[in-house]
Amino acid sequence: MDKILVTGGLGFIGSHTVVELQNEGYEVVIIDDLSNSSEKVLDGITSITGKKPLFEKLDLKDRPKVETFFEKHNDVKGVIHFAASKAVGESVQEPLLYYENNISTLVYILKELKKLPSAAFIFSSSCTVYGQADELPITENAPVKQAESPYGNTKQIGEEIISDTCKVTPSLKAIALRYFNPVGSHESAKIGELPIGVPQNLVPFITQTAIGIREQLSVFGDDYPTPDGTCVRDYIHVVDLAKAHVVALNRLLQNKNKANYETFNLGTGKGSSVLEVVKAFEKVSGEKLNYKIVGRREGDIISAYADTTKANNELGWKTKLTLDDAMRSAWKWEQIVRGNK
């Protein structure tokens, strides 16, 4: 079976995607700089699939090392590119770190792919490119808006770089996958989200509060124009998301793509408010969550959820797992990671 490079393959979404790629029969080689992950994740992947992926610790900003990697692995048929810095708040404080890490590494990889006879490229993008969309649910034709953060801007610029490159590189086919909000963990609880430091995202903060690492969850505002006043998002189970990457890769390798650059929204198509997520967690865990309503968080959009028509029809993919499944698996993972079986 074809060899696939997964950059950032020891990260949250990356590791779940490696599992699904191996389940599909692909040979996987991972590049990760371990800046936001751990080599222990390799054991988790291996214990799920029974196959240990190839792994090279490598900083993709080191262009000569990237060239050497591709000389050694010149039989790579596709790349799924997760490796990037992704903390919205941090990107506001450290824009140059984000532009260097997220943009230069993309350029170096694309330069290597241009040298191959043919290549399939899957880009980890984000619904953040839409900002606060004027119409809901959000389709792929919704206008890309002025980015709200350097992180979001690196996703917009990244998509443009890929699109421009594909226009002049017939041997390169690419798909940008615009994720909504990835949550949950593999049912085995052998891999999951490992936020370093204080979690920025809602679900890891919920599970860390429930297990006692965090004192209390702050709900950032309940005065939004939404049914219960809290922000609405499309929370997609990370395993459904991972499977979508395999479907997108197969589409390119089997030449089923309709253009050599395509974009797809990956979500459930359903919006859930912050308080609905809290209630779903309390229901599946049996834990009463300690939270309080505080002021709004700067930069938050009010509501975002996906129109999944294109992914359903073109990719033949749709989510199967629910918000309850995500909360259940996230809680199981938190308990295992914190040693409370």
Question: Which residue ranges make up the site for ligand WQD (CB under 6 A)?
Answer: 86, 88, 126, 128, 181, 200-202, 205, 217-220, 231, 233, 274, 297, 300
Smallest separation (angstroms) from ligand WQD to the CB of 60: 18
The answer to whether 189 and 336 have CB atoms below 8 angstroms apart is: yes
Question: Which residue, 24 or 148, has its beta carbon nearer to ligand WQD?
Answer: 148
Is the CB of 8 or the CB of 44 nearer to ligand WQD? Answer: 8
User: CA quadruple 108, 109, 112, 117: dihedral positive or negative?
Assistant: negative
At 261, the amino acid letter reads Y
> 80 or 88: whose CB is closer to ligand WQD?
88
Nearer to ligand WQD, 298 or 324 (CB): 298
Query: Least distance from C-beta 59 to ligand WQD, angstroms?
Result: 21
Q: What is the residue whose two structure tokens read 């939270």?
A: 291
User: Measured from the CB atom, is 29 or 321 closer to ligand WQD?
Assistant: 321
CB-nearer residue toward ligand WQD: 138 or 231:
231
- State the minimum distance, in angstroms, from the CB of residue 293 to ligand WQD: 9
Q: How far is the CB of 52 from ligand WQD (least distance, A)?
A: 28
Please tell me the distance from the alpha carbon of residue 290 to that of residue 209, in angstroms, as a whole number: 7
Helix (H, G, I), strand (E, B) or coil at 75: coil
- The CA–CA distances, whole Å, from 325 to 90, 152, 285 equal 30, 28, 11
Q: Which of 283, 274, 67 is nearest to 183 (CA)?
A: 274
Catalytic residue numbers read 151
How far from 267 is each of 241, 294, 325, CA to CA, in Å?
8, 28, 15
Least distance (Å) from ligand WQD to the CB of residue 319?
Answer: 16
DSSP-derived 3-state class of residue 163: helix
Minimum distance from residue 38 beta carbon to ligand WQD (Å): 19
Q: How many whole angstroms separate alpha carbon 18 and alpha carbon 4?
A: 9
Q: How far apart are CA 326 and CA 236, in angstroms?
A: 8
In angstroms, what is the minimal distance from the CB of 201 to ligand WQD?
3
Report the distance separating Cα 184 and Cα 25, nearest Å.
24
Residue in the shown chain whose Cβ atom is closest to ligand WQD: 231
CA 42/CA 166 separation, integer angstroms: 32
Nearest in space to 124 (alpha carbons), one of 147, 149, 105: 105
List the alpha helices (DSSP H) in the chain.
Answer: 12-24, 40-49, 63-72, 88-93, 95-99, 105-113, 150-167, 202-211, 238-253, 274-285, 309-310, 323-337
Of 31 and 202, nearer to ligand WQD (C-beta) is 202
